[in-house]
Amino acid sequence: MATVPSASQWGFPTASKRALLIHGLNSSSHTFHRVASALAAKGYLVVAPNLLGHALRKPGADFLVQTLADDLLPYLQAAEYDIVIGHSMGALAVLSLLKYLPKTRPTSVVLIDPSVEVTAEQMVDRRVNFASDVINNPTAEDYMALNPLWTRDDAVWKVLGTHIGRDTNSDDHIDGNVPWSFSHLFADRPAAAALTVLIADPRFCGALKLEAVAKFKDIRTVIVPNASHWIQYEFPEVIVEEALRNIKE
């Protein structure tokens, strides 16, 4: 069995069904606490690693998306997963890992509001947004005031994710990936893998625009009404429903 980095787990180790959940930038494995609990209740062993450079993970030589994906590859070498979910930067890492999924074993893949295509001009604004939490250090109360659909636990985990991330995460990632262009990775999806992309409500300026993925065939795209970029906090049930949609019981 391959050696894998440490991860949070929900459910019983002996469960026959497995889910792999990958968080995004300046966050942690517990960003998925509600999704993971729901899947565990349905009989899944849920594994949620922390990205390189986050939580207690030591930083690597760089923070390119492919570097993050390569670091997670041992998980796919150690076990097969029925469900793979990624949020934001974690969704881009999942895209980079599609080529390693089983060719014939069905896998339900859900990408949550990933920045698939971002120009250098757009990145100027995103750099400010990405770094704002680290600079301003919002409290749980601040997050709850700004995000009425979040629970206090959601807000606490967001605060923790920001504080235990590296202060330079934003610059590390952005400098290595300008402009961002990851659409070509959709072609790496094995035929046995069903791919769903969840998109934030356009009114709330999510990371992904529908036109960036609508052109790809055999990919289910779902705009989640009233959802911000943090769909896993606001509508975790939608993520679980979409993940299970392609699972044959």
Q: At 22, which amino acid appears? A: I
Q: What element of type H or E holds 83?
A: strand 83-87
**pLDDT confidence tier of residue 247, bands split at 50, 70 and 90:** confident
Q: What is the pLDDT of residues 103-132, one digit of tens each?
A: 999 999 999 999 888 777 777 776 666 666
CA atoms of 220 and 166, how far apart (whole Å): 34
Q: What element of type H or E holds 154?
A: helix 152-164
More confident residue, 167 or 210: 210
* DSSP one-letter code for 223: E
Asked if pLDDT for residue 146 goes beyond 70, the answer is: yes
Nearest to 87 by CA among 32, 159, 40, 50: 32
Arithmetic mean of pLDDT over the chain: 86
Question: Quick one: pLDDT at residue 1?
Answer: 41
Question: Quick one: pLDDT at residue 170?
Answer: 52
CA atoms of 171 and 57, how far apart (whole Å): 18
Question: Quick one: pLDDT at residue 205?
Answer: 74
Question: Quick one: pLDDT at residue 168?
Answer: 47
